[in-house]
């Protein structure tokens, strides 16, 4: 299968390792990855902060770039949620019938990374091995908009050597929320503190999720506390083949 | 005690109020404990209903139908309720509602009134206006009594004194009811309230209530409660005034068979709350003979035109969105600067009380979606929040301080950058250069200026990697 | 007039959306699946969970059972709706029929009240009164601290929709759903029994041999 990768603006800039991991997993599984170089951002940050007008051309841009893709893989559930939940509204309120029509045919071909593996490729074992204690944080958009359910968990369970530890209240928001983390920094931090208590309580070495945005927020606080836990995107775990030279992940 | 006004016209912004409340560790413990308890009960009872999603859909449809033909159903309610011997009044705003109520009490020669908990009367700040007109008001709901005796503000839609724990209630009752030996277990506190209010129920001849539902088909009012104070007020009084928002109407009597399944489960985590009363106008020989309904608009009709905002009015005030909200959990209700707190308050308040007074509320959410998931009438609160944010941004388009705000400038710049991938790549490289001076000895960023400083106030930031994904990709392609 | 102003605003706001005239199709389970025995058993469980006590008896033993329950509870001065069947009155107790002249304070002073019911709902553990002749005016089941309610097997429905089907014919009558004794969850969200309504609720479920003639109230 030819899979087009929408890496997302912040992964591209801040988390290139996640992108490399996605490519590595998909190629290992025998698929061809394509990266349309003119891609930028889905418009989520603008849309969610109230800059709806700025989001519209970005939505148009995304759809025109990926319109003909066989499948689109996005390693960020909040960006997938933006496209699935709100692009149609943007088309509608801008009376853009062409966008609406293109979107209708494109949407069934858009997958969050773990969705692509489980729903489109029908896989749970992607041949990864990773000998570490890991806990999984269910990011809100993955959980409630994409309804990922236990798909990421099923993938993690098939990773050789991985010791999966359940995170208490894993469905409670970590407090990131995009610009919320800055506009309501106090509340965001209070939410994050609770999340950190839960993560540290598991004794896990790694906290993983399907969204680097939450993980950046979690990792930032872990580092501030000098905690010995690392945040890591699920793609990086699934890409790992434990050539057993690295004692640390 | 932190006391923040719940008058949206005077309240501080959400982040400001929240900062103050976050320091109140006792309040935060109380809120977290109470909402945990109620969430677990709710989850267990929802899980046993295999038809829960169908009931949510049906409940949403009933409420949406009522709103789509609101004028028709209001007129039908008025006709039926009047035919049954009741009086219907219409109030455009809070002031008119207060005047109507004062007039009814004056005609009934009532200088005392007993009250059932009602969000709508809290919205119009009825008690204060009645007291200043010389009418003594007795709140009879336990939580409302706690607030009234403690000169406190409501912090939750169904459990307005949720921010107080048993010890705090004990101290308050001991002082106000002159019961120095009062124990602090909830049964003792409840018994104290029972005795305190008993004589009021038997003595006071006028009562004020809200309405959970108005039924157009039959002209009936439905009140859902737990303690029996509601039944006392609406049965024993001679004059009864129900104050209801115009959105409270539902088309048919049978609609209750859905909403009375979802409301108690969502609200208090019960299969059914102890008491529901449904009555129609006046029943000779049973209950009040002087029965009034005040239908209140107070900004509600402004929400009707657009479907996206209209859904706000579907709310049946169960409070489930508050209990599940991770933001509410941290701050409690007072931070929302309105009697309507939590996620529903964050969308209702800015729409009811002109947007400029509540600009920070649509942003008082991480958009986690937990509120939508639990809503028994499927209000897509995150969708409305995001829509209201765009209204705030649009409204401030010509506001100078906003035009030059870091946020607006930043957003404009980013929007331009994202329209072209070469520009985007350039920006990525620039960012790496700009951040250099801020990278600490350990290789992390600990302090950034401006808005970004809000991030680094609590969190470190890993520096931008030397190579972006697209740079890596391009190099890989070239070497293949 | 604010009436016209409000209705005018509402009509103006909704005018664009009148095309969607179709009334919503509601689909949710309306009828239950339990047999009579299961229905009774679940009702009893649910009532217990609310801290109500539940007793049983065949119809012919009702008066005796009423006497036993009331006397064991120490409730000797009992008020009842005037139209309650006299066959329910056990001779040994002090019975007073309700009358319009009784004040609320006088009603409150009784040891308890005995009534029938319009329906009971298994799923929610609710007793429903439409305040007909065997149930009396609303104050009667509110002011005394003790309520003994007699429910017949054929009055028990499983679901709330089935209950509303029964209430529909008399929809304008005052209707009270009682689900356990009065309670509050206002302190720390913990349900505490006994606030303003009756603090004690006892229920007698009357089972009838199948060949026994039906007894109706209304």
| DSSP assignments along B220-283, one per residue | EEEEEESSSHHHHHHHH-SEEEEEEEGGGEES-GGGHHHHHHHHHHHHHS-SS-SEEEEEES-B
**B446 Cα to chain A: minimum distance (Å):** 8
CB-CB under 8 Å, B369 with A40: no
Classify residue A104: in a domain, yes or no.
yes
Q: Which residues of B touch A9 (CB under 8 A)?
A: 418, 424
Degrees (nearest 5) of the Cα angle A153, A154, A160? 95
Classify residue A233: in a domain, yes or no.
yes
Per-residue pLDDT of C99-149, as tens digits, reads 999 999 999 999 999 999 999 999 999 999 999 999 999 999 999 999 999
Residues A111 and A138 in one domain: no
Classify residue A26: in a domain, yes or no.
yes
Classify residue C129: in a domain, yes or no.
yes
Per-residue pLDDT of C177-186, as tens digits, reads 999 888 887 8
Residues A108 and A137 in one domain: no
**Domain map of chain B by residue range?**
405-479
Q: Are A216 and A14 in contact (CB under 8 A)?
A: yes
User: Which of A 99-138 lie inside 8 A of B, CB atoms?
Assistant: none
Q: Which residues pair with C177 in a beta bridge?
A: B276, C128
Terminal C-alpha separation, chain C: 44
Task: Give which of A45, A186, A214, A225 to mutate to test B binding, by max B Cβ within 10 Å.
Answer: A186
What stretch of H or E contains C178? strand C175-178
pLDDT band at C188 (very low <50, low <70, confident <90, very high): confident
CATH number at residue C113: 3.40.50.10420
8-state DSSP, C88 = G
Residue C213 has what pLDDT?
A: 42
* Domain final residue, candidates A83, A98, A120: A120
CATH number at residue A27: 3.40.50
Q: Are A229 and A203 in contact (CB under 8 A)?
A: no
HSE at residue B345, side-chain half, CA atoms within 13 A, is 34
Angle at which helix B166-176 crosses helix B186-203, to 10 degrees, equals 40
CB-CB under 8 Å, C139 with B235: yes
Q: Write down how long chain A is.
A: 249
Q: Which residues of B touch C24 (CB under 8 A)?
A: 58, 61-62, 64-65
Q: Are A86 and A141 in contact (CB under 8 A)?
A: no
Residue B402 has what pLDDT?
A: 74
Residues A110 and A188 in one domain: no
Q: Which residues of B touch C7 (CB under 8 A)?
A: 71, 74-75
CB-CB under 8 Å, B462 with A192: no
Size of interface B-C (CB pairs under 8 A): 240
Residues A81 and A186 in one domain: no
Distance between CA atoms of residues B16 and C112, nearest Å: 54
pLDDT band at C197 (very low <50, low <70, confident <90, very high): confident
- Structure tokens given for C66: 């009423």
Q: How many CB atoms lie within 10 A of CB A245?
A: 5
Classify residue A246: in a domain, yes or no.
no
Q: Which residues of C touch B274 (CB under 8 A)?
A: 50, 178-183, 197
- Structure tokens given for A144: 């409630």
Percent of chain A exceeding pLDDT 70 equals 97
Q: Which residue range(s) make up the domain with A182?
A: 133-239
Residues A105 and A28 in one domain: yes
Classify residue C27: in a domain, yes or no.
no
pLDDT band at C209 (very low <50, low <70, confident <90, very high): low
Classify residue C173: in a domain, yes or no.
yes
Angle at which helix B256-268 crosses helix C160-167, to 10 degrees, equals 140
CB-CB under 8 Å, B30 with C188: yes
Classify residue C8: in a domain, yes or no.
no
**Which chain B residue has the Cα nearest residue C124?**
B271
Q: How many CB atoms lie within 10 A of CB B52?
A: 18
**C96 Cα to chain B: minimum distance (Å):** 18
Residues A173 and A99 in one domain: no
Largest CA distance in chain A: 56
Which residue spans within B22-157 are E strands per DSSP? Answer: 87-91, 112-115, 136-139
User: Which of B 330-389 lie inside 8 A of A, CB atoms?
Assistant: 330-331, 362-370, 372-373, 383, 386, 389
Is residue C1 predicted with pLDDT exceeding 90?
no
A134: nearest Cα among A199, A216, A217? A199
A9 touches chain B (CB under 8 A): yes
Burial class (CB in 10 A: 0-12, 13-18, 19+), C35: exposed
Classify residue A249: in a domain, yes or no.
no
Cα-to-chain-centroid distance, residue B348: 7
Span A74-86, mean pLDDT?
A: 98
* Domain final residue, candidates A95, A120, A145: A120
Degrees (nearest 5) of the Cα angle A141, A145, A151? 80
Residues A94 and A193 in one domain: no
Q: Specify the number of domains making up chain A.
A: 2
Higher pLDDT, B406 or A49: A49
Distance between CA atoms of residues A1 and B161, nearest Å: 58
Tokens 């990086």, residue located: A236
**A52 Cα to chain B: minimum distance (Å):** 6
Classify residue A126: in a domain, yes or no.
no
Q: Which residue range(s) make up the domain with C70?
A: 33-207
pLDDT band at C211 (very low <50, low <70, confident <90, very high): very low
Residue C214 has what pLDDT?
A: 46
**Which chain C residue has the Cα nearest residue B36?**
C189
Given a contact as 3+ CB pairs under 8 Å, which chains touch C? Answer: B
Q: Which residues of B touch A61 (CB under 8 A)?
A: 418-419
* Residues 6 or more apart in contact with residue A158 via CB below 8 angstroms: A124, A125, A126, A128
Residues A106 and A177 in one domain: no
Q: Specify the number of domains making up chain C.
A: 1
A35 touches chain B (CB under 8 A): yes
Interface present between C and A (3 or more CB pairs within 8 Å): no
* pLDDT < 70 positions in chain B: 1-3, 355-357, 403
CB-CB under 8 Å, A57 with B419: yes
pLDDT band at C187 (very low <50, low <70, confident <90, very high): confident
Classify residue A191: in a domain, yes or no.
yes
- Structure tokens given for B302: 């402004």
Per-residue pLDDT of C68-88, as tens digits, reads 999 999 999 999 999 999 889
Distance between CA atoms of residues B389 and B395, nearest Å: 10
Interface present between B and A (3 or more CB pairs within 8 Å): yes
């Amino acid at each position: 299968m030819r899979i087009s990768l929408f890496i997302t603006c912040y992964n591209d800039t801040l988390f290139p390792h996640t992108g490399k991991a996605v490519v590595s997993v998909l190629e290992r599984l025998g698929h061809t990855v394509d990266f349309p170089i003119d891609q930028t951002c889905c418009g989520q940050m603008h849309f969610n902060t109230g800059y709806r007008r700025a989001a519209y051309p970005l939505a148009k841009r995304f759809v025109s770039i990926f319109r003909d893709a066989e499948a689109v893989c996005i390693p960020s559930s909040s960006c997938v949620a933006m496209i699935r939940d709100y692009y149609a509204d943007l088309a509608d309120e801008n009376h853009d019938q062409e966008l609406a029509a293109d979107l209708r045919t494109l949407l069934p071909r858009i997958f969050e990374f773990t969705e692509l593996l489980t729903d489109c490729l029908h896989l749970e074992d992607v041949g990864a091995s990773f000998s570490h204690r890991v806990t999984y944080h269910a990011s809100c958009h993955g959980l409630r908009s994409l309804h990922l359910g236990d798909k990421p968990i099923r993938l993690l369970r098939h990773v050789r050597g991985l010791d999966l530890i359940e995170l208490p209240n894993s469905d409670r928001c970590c407090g990131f929320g995009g610009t919320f983390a800055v506009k309501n920094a106090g509340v965001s931090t209070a939410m994050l503190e609770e999340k950190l208590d839960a993560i540290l309580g598991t004794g896990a070495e790694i906290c993983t999720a399907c969204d680097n945005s939450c993980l950046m927020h979690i990792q930032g606080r872990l580092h501030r506390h000098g905690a010995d836990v690392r945040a890591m995107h699920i793609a990086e775990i699934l890409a790992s083949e434990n050539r057993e030279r690295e004692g640390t992940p | 005690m932190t006391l923040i006004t719940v008058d949206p016209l005077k309240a501080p912004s959400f982040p400001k109020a929240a900062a103050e409340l976050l320091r109140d560790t006792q309040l935060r413990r109380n809120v977290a404990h109470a909402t945990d308890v109620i969430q677990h009960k709710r989850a267990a009872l929802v899980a046993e209903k295999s038809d829960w999603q169908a009931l949510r859909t049906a409940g949403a449809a009933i409420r949406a139908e009522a709103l789509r033909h609101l004028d028709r159903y209001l007129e039908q309610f008025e006709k039926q309720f009047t035919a049954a011997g009741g009086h219907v009044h219409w109030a455009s705003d809070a002031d008119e509602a207060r005047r109507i109520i004062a007039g009814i009490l004056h005609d009934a020669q009532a200088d005392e009134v007993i009250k059932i908990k009602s969000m709508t009367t809290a919205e119009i700040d009825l008690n204060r206006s009645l007291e200043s007109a010389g009418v003594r008001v007795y709140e009879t709901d336990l939580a409302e009594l706690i607030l009234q005796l403690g000169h406190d503000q409501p912090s939750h839609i169904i459990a307005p004194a949720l921010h107080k724990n048993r010890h705090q209630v004990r101290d308050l009752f001991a002082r106000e009811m002159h019961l120095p030996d009062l124990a602090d277990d909830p049964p003792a506190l409840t018994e104290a309230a029972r005795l305190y209010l008993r004589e009021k129920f038997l003595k006071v001849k006028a009562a004020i209530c809200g309405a959970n539902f108005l039924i157009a088909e039959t002209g009936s009012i439905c009140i859902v409660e737990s303690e029996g104070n509601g039944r006392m007020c609406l049965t024993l009084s001679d004059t009864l005034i129900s104050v209801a928002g115009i959105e409270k109407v539902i088309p048919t009597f049978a609609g209750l068979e859905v909403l009375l399944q979802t409301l108690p489960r969502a609200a208090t985590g019960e299969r059914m709350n102890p008491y529901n009363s449904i009555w129609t106008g006046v029943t000779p020989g049973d209950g009040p003979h002087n029965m009034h309904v005040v239908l209140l608009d107070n900004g509600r009709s402004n929400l009707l035109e657009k479907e996206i905002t209209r859904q706000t009015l579907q709310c049946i005030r169960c409070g489930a969105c508050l209990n599940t909200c991770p933001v509410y959990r941290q701050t409690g209700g007072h931070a929302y600067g309105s009697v309507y707190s939590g996620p529903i308050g964050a969308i209702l308040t800015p729409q009811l009380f002109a947007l400029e007074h509540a600009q920070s509320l649509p942003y008082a959410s991480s958009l986690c979606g937990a509120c939508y998931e639990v809503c028994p009438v499927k209000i897509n609160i995150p969708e409305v929040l995001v829509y209201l944010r765009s209204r705030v941004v649009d409204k401030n388009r010509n506001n100078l301080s906003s035009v030059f705000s870091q946020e607006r400038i930043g957003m404009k710049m980013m929007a331009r950058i994202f329209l072209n991938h070469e520009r985007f790549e350039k920006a990525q490289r620039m960012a790496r250069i700009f951040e250099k001076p801020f990278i600490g000895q350990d290789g992390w960023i600990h302090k950034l200026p401006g808005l970004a400083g809000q991030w680094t106030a609590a969190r470190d930031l890993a520096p931008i990697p030397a190579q972006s994904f697209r740079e890596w990709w391009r190099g890989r392609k070239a070497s293949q | 007039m604010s009436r016209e102003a409000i209705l005018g605003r509402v009509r103006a706001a909704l005018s664009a959306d009148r095309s969607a005239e179709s009334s919503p199709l509601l689909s949710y389970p309306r009828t239950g699946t339990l047999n009579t025995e299961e229905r009774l058993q679940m009702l009893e469980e649910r009532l217990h969970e609310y801290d109500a006590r539940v007793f049983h008896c065949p119809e012919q033993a009702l008066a005796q059972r009423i006497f036993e329950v009331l006397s064991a509870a120490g409730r000797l001065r009992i008020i009842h709706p005037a139209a309650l069947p006299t066959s329910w009155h056990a001779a040994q107790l002090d019975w007073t029929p309700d009358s319009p002249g009784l004040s609320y304070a006088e009603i409150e002073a009784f040891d308890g009240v005995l009534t029938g019911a319009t329906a009971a709902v298994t799923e929610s553990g609710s007793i429903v009164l439409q305040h007909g002749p065997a149930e009396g005016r609303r104050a009667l089941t509110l002011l005394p601290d003790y309520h003994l309610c007699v429910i017949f097997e054929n009055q028990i429905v499983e679901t709330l929709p089935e209950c509303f089907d029964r209430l529909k014919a008399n929809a304008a009558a005052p209707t009270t759903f009682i689900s356990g004794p009065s309670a509050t969850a206002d302190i720390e969200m913990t349900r505490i029994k006994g606030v303003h309504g009756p603090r004690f609720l006892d229920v007698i479920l009357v089972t009838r041999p199948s060949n026994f003639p039906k007894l109706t109230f209304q």
